[in-house]
Amino acid sequence: MAEKILVVDDDLDTLRLVGLMLERQGYRIMAASSGQQALSMIYSERPDLVLLDLMMPDMDGIEVARRLRSSPETEDILIIMFTAKSQIEDKLEGFDAGADDYLTKPTQPRELIAHVKAVLKRRGSRQAAPSREFHEQGKLVGILAAKGGVGVSTLAVNLGIVMHQETKRSVVVGDLRPGCGTIGLEVGVTNPLGLSKLLALSVDEITPQAIHRELFDHHSGVQFLFSSAQPLDARLVTSTDQLVAVARQITYLANFSILDLGGELTPAVEKIVQFCDRLVVVTEPVPQSVYQTRLLLDFLGGKDTTSRRVLVALVNRLRAGMQLSLGQVQDQLGRDVSVIFTAAPELAYQSQVSTTPMVLRQADGVTMQQFTTLAGRVIGKPG
Ligand SMILES: Nc1ncnc2c1ncn2[C@@H]1O[C@H](COP(=O)(O)OP(=O)(O)O)[C@@H](O)[C@H]1O
Ligand SMILES: [Mg+2]
């Protein structure tokens, strides 16, 4: 879940600017303009992190920090002191009162963001430790389509984030598309090697620990295994045994592992779909695509059209009148569609430009609701 940050400052311009800056990073922001207000918000809202101004009229930041640290209910809340006081004595007093970090105003946005990320990440790795034990196997969810470009990667990323938010359990999203990776790009990581490094190993070397070393901690709380976007790495798609090993071993790293399996039934994907607990087949309301999807569904589900292991997500990417209706799609597929995503071209575009997944950019829109519906269907018990 996107972390909650409470910004406390008696200067309203600082509150607004810092709030906006952090909001753009995908955090959920609350603001308080006095020490008293900060304390009551901390009790009601339970933020993960407090960005705390030192000098405020009624109750100063040092006092707020002391009170947080002295109560078991609030002692774990992270505190970054953010103040114009730059003397070493001031900093020592801040740390003494329980600050996790200290930043001096004025600061560069990038510096502020880096401190926030670093502090949250240190806490994240402490908290996530128990679920990262390498013996309990989680559920495996494969996302795939009968062709490229219909929204598989977008769905994998956003579904992962919403599943983490809804269940508070650990989630890993793996991009299993060597040479065609886009998930790294979607979250602003331009040259991710993750999967390529693993595919260079022998099958025996592909352990949960080895995969764990390649995971990227995203601020949403989801961890990612990226594929490279280097076209030549596409040749690694023939490393079938390694890809299957990654899909099997990744399940030991999180409660839910979600795999972007792409739009082709390669030999590796053909094997991986056999052991996924859930499959989400993505399609679009266009005749040829629906036809291809039906062939894929026939392969995946055999004759059992009621199988709840296989879900169908219908993604409208265009707001066009000339598309098949839901009824037509379901007739032609011979089964029900589990969730419909309405066209959200502006949101999709903005999310790419800002490298912020759709559900973080717009946490209360219809796209979010649609992902919540899908998450519910994915988590639901098999029939
Ligand atoms: N609901 C939507 N509305 C509009 N555009 C979307 C929607 N979902 C995804 N897209 C866009 O469609 C394009 C293809 O999505 P992508 O997830 O990369 O597909 P795939 O992984 O199947 O190739 C991307 O540009 C993405 O931003
Ligand atoms: Mg893709």
Q: What is the CATH number of the domain that holds 46?
A: 3.40.50.2300
Based on the domain organization, do 82 and 166 belong to the same domain? no
Give yes or no: residues 118 and 147 share one domain.
no
At residue 129, the pLDDT reads 43
Residue at which a domain ends, from 111, 130, 149: 130
Cβ(2)–Cβ(26) below 8 Å? yes
Q: What is the mean pLDDT of residues 353-378?
A: 94
Pocket residue to mutate for ligand 1, from 143, 154, 260, 319, most atoms within 8 A of Cβ: 154
Q: Which residue is associated with the tokens 């352990």? A: 207
CA of 315 to the centre of ligand 1 (A): 8
Domain boundary among 108, 130, 152: 130
Rounded to the nearest whole angstrom, what is the distance from the C-alpha of residue 375 to the centroid of ligand 1? 18
Q: Work out the angle at residue 249's Cα, subtended by the Cα atoms of residues 194 and 309, and round it to the nearest 5 degrees.
A: 110
- For residues 174 and 263, membership in a common domain is answered with yes
- DSSP letters for 19-70: HHHHHHTT-EEEEESSHHHHHHHHHHH--SEEEE-S--SSS-HHHHHHHHHH
pTM tops 0.75, yes or no: no
Q: Copy the structure tokens of residue 156.
A: 């994998």
- For residue 302, the model assigns a pLDDT of 63
Per-residue pLDDT reduced to its tens digit, 68-86: 988 877 888 999 998 888 7
Q: What is the mean pLDDT of residues 41-69?
A: 91
DSSP 75: T
State pLDDT tens for residues 126-172.
554 443 445 578 999 999 999 999 999 999 999 999 999 999 899 99
263 and 334 housed in the same domain: yes
Domain count across the chain: 2
Q: 170 and 206 share a domain?
A: yes
For position 76, what pLDDT does the model report?
83
What sign for the dihedral angle of Cα 268, 274, 279, 281?
positive
For atom 26 of ligand 1, the residue with the nearest CA is: 348
Residues 256 and 370 occupy one common structural domain = yes
Residue 116's pLDDT band, with cuts at 50, 70 and 90, is: very high
Are both 151 and 172 inside the same structural domain?
Answer: yes
Rama region for 172: left / alpha / beta (φ>0; ψ in -120 to 50; rest): beta
Instruction: Check: CB of residue 21 under 8 Å from CB of residue 111.
Output: no
Whose alpha carbon is nearest atom 16 of ligand 1?
A: 151
Provide the residue range defining the domain that includes 221. 134-379
What is the C-alpha to C-alpha distance for residues 52 and 47, in angstroms, rounded to an integer? 12
Q: Which of 94-108, 148-162, 266-280 has the lowest average pLDDT?
A: 94-108
Specify whether 236 is located in the same domain as 329.
Answer: yes
Whether residue 106 has a cis bond before it, omega within 30° of 0:
yes
Say which residue, 318 or 383, is predicted with more confidence.
Answer: 318
Among 41-50, 65-74, 216-225, 370-379, whose mean pLDDT is lowest?
Answer: 65-74
pLDDT interval class at 189 (50, 70, 90):
confident
Task: Give the pLDDT score at 133.
Answer: 45
- DSSP state for residue 277 in the 8-state scheme: S
Residue 273, classified by CB atoms within 10 Å of its CB into exposed (0-12), middle (13-18) or buried (19+), is: buried
Q: Are residues 75 and 179 in the same domain?
A: no
Task: List all residues whose CB is within 6 A of at least one atom of ligand 1.
Answer: 145, 148-154, 182, 263, 315, 317, 341, 343-345, 348, 352
Q: Are residue 126 and residue 216 in the same domain, yes or no?
A: no
What is the 155 CA–ligand 1 centroid distance (Å)?
Answer: 8
Residues 138 and 232 in one domain: yes
What pLDDT is attached to residue 89?
A: 84
How far, in Å, CA of 138 to CA of 140, rounded? 7
Same domain flag for 32 and 162: no
Please tell me the distance between residue 295's alpha carbon and the centre of ligand 1 in angstroms.
22
The reported pLDDT for the residue numbered 132 is 43
Burial class from Cβ neighbours inside 10 Å (0-12, 13-18, 19+) for residue 311 reads buried
Rounded distance between C-alpha atoms, residue 128 and residue 139, angstroms: 17
Hey, whose CA ends up nearest to atom 7 of ligand 1? 317
d(CA 260, CA 239): 16
Q: Residue 303's pLDDT band (boundaries 50, 70, 90)?
A: low
Could you tell me which residue, 308 or 160, shows the higher pLDDT?
160
pLDDT at 126: 56
pLDDT of 128 reads: 47
| Chain segment 230-243, per-residue pLDDT in tens | 999 999 999 999 99
What pLDDT is attached to residue 321? 75
Whether residue 373 has pLDDT greater than 70: yes
What CATH number does the domain containing 197 carry? 3.40.50.300
* Last residue within a domain, chosen from 130, 153, 172: 130
Amino acid 84: pLDDT? 86
